[in-house]
Structures are given as C-alpha cells and as structure tokens.
C-alpha cells in the first residue's frame, strides 16, 4: 500500500492510502523523491482536462527505480530517473522525435487509464484514475512506462528537484531553444514570470539573446528574472504593455512567448512582434472555448507567425540531460526557483504558488 494525493470534484486535494500494482511487462515502479506542482495539475483538478475523478494527479516526478516489469532494458532498480509524459513511439510525430505531438497524446496522458483501459491504482478494491501524463506522481510511488523515463546523472544536483524538468521547465527552455530557436543577438518578450517564463529567461540568456524582456505583475518575479538574465522587466499594472515594449524596441521584438493563456495577454504579445516575428503560445487558456481576435491584414502584412507549443518541442531523452548539463555548468540555475513542501501540505503549496510566495513548488513525499 502507498499513500497518494487524490482529487475529487472539490477544490482541495486529499491524502489517502491506495494500492498500486506491480509493474506489468514494459512498466517500471518508481519511488518518488520529489514532484513539481504544475498549473496543468490544477486545471485537471478543476476539470479543464476532464480526467475522471477521483484521480491521482502529478506529472513532474523524479525518483529511484524500485522494480521493473518483464522486458524492460532502459533502466534497472536503483537508477535515478525523471518521469516524462507518455507517447506511443510509432506515429509520424514520434518518428520525427516530437513525442509531445504524438497523435495519441490525449488518450495516453489525460484518460486516467492505460491504453487498454485498465488502471494500476486502486482504493479499497475500486479502480482510481491514474496514469496522468503517464505517471500520477503525487504519490510515494508511481507506475510508468519504460519509454517515459529518463535516466539521469545527479552529480551536483538534488534528485528531488529534477521533476519540473519533465514539464514546466523544459517547456519554457524548449520554447526558446527549440520551438522558436532564438539565435544570438535576437530580441524576445516573455509574458509571465512563473516557472515556464523564468525557464525561458534562462534559456534566452544562454542563447545570447540581446534583449530579453519579462512582463510580470509580481515584483519578486521581476527581480528573479533580472537575476537570471533578463535585460528589462515590465509591470503590466503600470500601463499599456505593448507601448512599453515598443518604447524599448520601436521596431518590435523578434520573438514572444505567452505563458498565461489569457486572451488579452496573447493579443498584447502579438502586438509586440516586429516584422516576421514569431509568437509561441504555451499557456493553458482559462476556458476550452477561449478565442483570439486577430487583425488578419496586420498578420499578413508583417508576416507574423503564431505557433502552439507543447513541452517545448523537446524529446525527453535528449533535452532533459542537456538541461541538467547546463545547470551543472551554471547556465540554467532552476533550483533558484524552487521551494519545497511536504507532499501532505500540497494544498498549502497550491495556495502559496497562487499568491506568488514561491515560483515553483516541489513536493517531497
């Protein structure tokens, strides 16, 4: 038996004892050392992602392999791992090393069950929704597929802090380094100074972007962005954000990243683009029916490009070790963003992150 954090159709998480299966062929049981708290967990709790409830959520897990199922060769018991999202491994997007655009991504990550409809978690004999992003790691242990795991070298970095590399941090960094592929000397405006936005700041600084602008209402997060390499920060409460960016760069920015998903912010970000500029959208919108108002003549005239980004266009096995290596070399100090909480205090961590008391909460079982 293990204890896990489950969510029903109520605002708060509860900590309960549940049962977890032994790994089936191709599966791996991981003892969780730490798991990041991500906005996507909260939108699943609140049913924007309609995973059946009650469910064990959590999708930024890191830990140690406890047991392996038949046929597993990628890891062995005792290996340190980061757990990533699920992908099929054989569709056209997976073949292009773009597993976050796997054609089966929604079914594999949001359905609350394995591909065959079964679940590896039970409470009092009844099945629980599990397999969230292939892991459901708000728990002491997680059951996952071999393909989802990245074996990591923890020299110089605490294993319990590595889980956020599997989603929020790789999303922000990958948006800059892969999706937008920002070259040295380019300019970028980043809207939102949460974990994704701060990861984008670090990646832009590493890439040598000449101008890095962060738009963020919280002063503490603006200060952190300056520490991490931002050249300018803008408080959106001070006035017209687009005008403020254009005051710094009258011709507009080469790239922009929007992390909040709010329609008005997306439209403001689009208005900061210069000629042939590109806007990357990574924020989950507040409603499934959220829409944008776009001036088509302007988009065509200036060649503006808008791209949706999932997980930073990254492949788990290649990008997560790259980020760890950058951290080790001092170029990606993501640990500065982290505040740890006991997993049992998950609701306090949710409240603290919402208030802006911390940038990235990591929960320790």
pLDDT above 90 covers what percent of the chain? 88
Q: 283 and 231, same structural domain? A: yes
> Has residue 323 been placed in a domain?
no
Quote the pLDDT of residue 132.
96
Quote the pLDDT of residue 289.
79
Q: What CATH number corresponds to the domain at position 142?
A: 3.90.180.10
> Has residue 201 been placed in a domain?
yes
Quote the pLDDT of residue 188.
98
**Total of domains in the chain:** 2
Q: 191 and 138, same structural domain? A: no
> Has residue 324 been placed in a domain?
no
Q: What CATH number corresponds to the domain at position 204?
A: 3.40.50.720
Q: 203 and 148, same structural domain? A: no
The parent domain of residue 91 ranges over 2-166+333-364
Residues contacting residue 11 through CB under 8 Å, at least 6 positions apart? 45, 46
Q: 17 and 160, same structural domain? A: yes
Q: 160 and 12, same structural domain? A: yes
CB of 137 closer than 8 Å to CB of 83? yes
Quote the pLDDT of residue 10.
52
Give the chain's residues under pLDDT 50: 1-2, 9
> Has residue 327 been placed in a domain?
no
Q: 145 and 8, same structural domain? A: yes
> Has residue 314 been placed in a domain?
no
Q: 97 and 12, same structural domain? A: yes
> Has residue 80 been placed in a domain?
yes
pLDDT in tens, 146-173: 999 999 999 889 999 999 999 999 999 9
Quote the pLDDT of residue 34.
98
Quote the pLDDT of residue 290.
84
**Angstrom distance (rounded) from CA 30 to CA 205:** 34
Quote the pLDDT of residue 2.
46
**Angstrom distance (rounded) from CA 311 to CA 320:** 11
**Angstrom distance (rounded) from CA 167 to CA 176:** 14
CB of 87 closer than 8 Å to CB of 105? yes
Quote the pLDDT of residue 7.
56
Quote the pLDDT of residue 286.
77
Q: 211 and 151, same structural domain? A: no
Q: 190 and 147, same structural domain? A: no
Quote the pLDDT of residue 5.
59
Quote the pLDDT of residue 6.
59
Q: 159 and 250, same structural domain? A: no
């Amino acid at each position: 038996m293990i204890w896990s954090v489950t969510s029903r159709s109520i605002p708060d998480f509860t900590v309960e004892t549940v049962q977890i299966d032994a790994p089936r062929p191709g599966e791996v049981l991981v003892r969780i050392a730490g798991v990041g708290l991500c906005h996507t967990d909260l939108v699943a709790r609140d049913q924007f992602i309609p995973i059946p409830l009650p469910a064990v959520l959590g999708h930024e897990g890191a830990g140690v392999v406890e047991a392996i199922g038949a046929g597993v060769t990628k890891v062995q018991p005792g290996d340190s791992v980061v757990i990533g999202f699920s992908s099929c491994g054989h569709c056209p997007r997976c073949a292009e090393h773009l597993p976050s655009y796997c054609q089966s991504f929604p079914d594999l990550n949001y359905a609350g069950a394995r591909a065959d409809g079964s679940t590896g978690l039970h409470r009092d004999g009844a099945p629980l929704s599990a397999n969230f992003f292939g892991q459901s790691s708000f728990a002491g242990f997680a059951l996952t597929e071999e393909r989802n795991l990245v074996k990591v070298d923890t020299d110089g970095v605490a294993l319990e802090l590595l889980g956020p590399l599997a989603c929020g941090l790789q999303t922000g960094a990958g948006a800059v380094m892969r999706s937008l592929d920002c070259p040295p000397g380019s300019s970028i405006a980043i809207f939102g100074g949460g974990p994704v936005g701060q990861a984008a700041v670090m990646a832009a600084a590493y890439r040598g972007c000449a101008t890095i602008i962060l738009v963020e209402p919280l002063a503490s997060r603006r200060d952190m962005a300056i520490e991490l390499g931002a050249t300018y920060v803008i408080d959106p409460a001070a006035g017209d954000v687009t005008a403020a960016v254009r005051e710094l760069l009258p011709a507009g920015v080469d790239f922009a990243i929007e992390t909040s998903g709010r329609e008005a912010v997306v439209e403001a970000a689009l208005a900061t683009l210069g000629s042939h500029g590109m806007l990357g959208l990574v924020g989950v919108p507040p409603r499934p029916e959220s829409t944008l108002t776009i001036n088509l003549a302007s988009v065509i005239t200036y060649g503006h490009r808008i791209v949706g980004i999932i997980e930073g266009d990254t492949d788990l096995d290649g990008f997560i070790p790259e980020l760890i290596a950058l951290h080790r070399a001092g170029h990606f100090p993501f640990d500065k963003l982290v505040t740890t909480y006991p997993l049992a205090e998950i609701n306090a961590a949710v409240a603290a992150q919402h208030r802006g008391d911390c940038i990235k909460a990591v929960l320790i079982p």
